[in-house]
Structure 1
Amino acid sequence: MNNPPPELEQEQSLKDDMRNMLEEARMILPGIQALIGFQTMAVFNTRFEKLPVAIEEAYLVALGLLILSMGLLMTPAAYHRLAERGKVSRRMIKLSSKFITTGMVPLMLAFAIDAYVVTMAAIDNSTVATIGAICTVIILGGLWFLFPLTRKRR
């Protein structure tokens, strides 16, 4: 893909930048919340009780990663509301961007662990489960990090 001609590009205002950043985080949060809900319900399933302890522990690690991800994604809104109420600064936008980007890492890892656990519960094959988890990291890491970084304007 070619970059658009300069006349089609436009700088965003700080206010628009912050609004877009908070909207991006808001779009991700419902999915994380739903996944946390499913994970907390799964422990009451009889199938979960039959999993090896190591798989149950992996599932709890994934839950912890989801909670960490949600916390990181919600931090920019809390920071904006409490630390810089009514103001928008370039520093706040950079900080918020770092929190949101960082929050995607534990989310990606939680998805990979969940893929592993679900595959183990479904077919009890650690090789297939490991391949599924690795593919999850490759696909999400590629879409969420590699693709944007290779397309980043210099």
Structure 2
Amino acid sequence: MTGVRSPQQRGDSSQDGESRKQRIDRELMELLNELRVALPGVQFLFAFLLVVPFQQQGTQLTDFQRDVYFVTLLAAAVATGLLIAPAAQHRVLFRQHDKEALLQRSNRSAFLGLTVLAVAIVGAVLLVTDVVFDLTLAWITAAVVGALLAWWWMAVPLWKRAHNEQDDPDD
């Protein structure tokens, strides 16, 4: 024998040889890595929105466009905060031996952050399309983008999750 022990011999509870602690550590690292993908996009959108009022046309916005801008700016700020929260909490709670609770909070924060990011993206599309083209096209375009994000970010994964309950719950 090569000295490799089975999961039962190591005291691991999972079938693939991964202990509960290892699974939590892996899931937390996967979540933090996923957020590294989302953060540059939301930060770029937020930076764009911060520049808009200082452009010459920024003072020529209609009341509707200013309202959309305000909602979009707030959504981008909240999404940024929610998507950065898991890394911040991980750093503050370092070595506190409560990674599972951190993982659960971080997962909720990431889900909410992506939801608010979708609102910010739709708002940005609505605002820019209204400024460049017209309000009717803006609403149609924003609705299509919103539906696409809702479908790919929420509906498909939730449907897949509901129909794969018999599979590994850790995936």
For this structure pair, what is the TM-score category when the shorter chain's length is used for normalisation? 0.7 to 0.9
Output the amino acid matched with 2:149. Answer: L
Shift of residue 97 of structure 1? 0.7
Shift of residue 72 of structure 1? 0.7
Aligned length: 145
Show the counterpart of 1:80.
90
Show the counterpart of 1:19.
29
The superposition leaves residues 52-94 of structure 1 with CA deviations (integer Å, 9 ceiling, x where unpaired) of 0220221121011001011111111121221353646332212
Output the amino acid matched with 2:55. Answer: N
Q: How many percent of aligned residue pairs carry the same amino acid? A: 27
Show the counterpart of 1:143.
152
Question: Bigger CA drift: 140-149 or 53-62?
Answer: 53-62
Show the counterpart of 2:138.
129
2:76 to 66, 73, 78: 66
The reply to whether residue 30 of structure 1 matches residue 40 of structure 2 is yes
Show the counterpart of 1:111.
121
Structure 1 alignment gaps of length 5 or more: 1-8
Shift of residue 104 of structure 1? 0.9
CA distance in 1: counterparts of 2:105 and 2:150, whole angstroms: 21
Q: Sort the Cα spacing of 1:72 and 1:29 in 2 relative to 1 into closer, same or farther, 3 A.
A: same
SS in 2 for 1:13: helix
SS in 1 for 2:44: helix
Instruction: Compute the TM-score of the two structures, normalised by the length of structure 2.
Output: 0.77
The superposition leaves residues 74-126 of structure 1 with CA deviations (integer Å, 9 ceiling, x where unpaired) of 11112122135364633221221111001111110111111111111111x22
Output the amino acid matched with 2:121. Answer: F
Question: Which has more radius of gyration?
Answer: 2
Q: CA RMSD in A?
A: 1.9
Larger relative contact order (Cα-Cα within 8 Å, sequence gap ≥ 6): 1
Structure 2 alignment gaps of length 5 or more: 1-14, 166-171
Show the counterpart of 1:54.
64
Instruction: Compute the TM-score of the two structures, normalised by the length of structure 1.
Output: 0.85
The superposition leaves residues 8-47 of structure 1 with CA deviations (integer Å, 9 ceiling, x where unpaired) of x956721111101011112111111111111111212222
Output the amino acid matched with 1:149. Answer: L
Output the amino acid matched with 1:120. Answer: D
CA distance in 2: counterparts of 1:70 and 1:87, whole angstroms: 26
SS in 2 for 1:90: helix
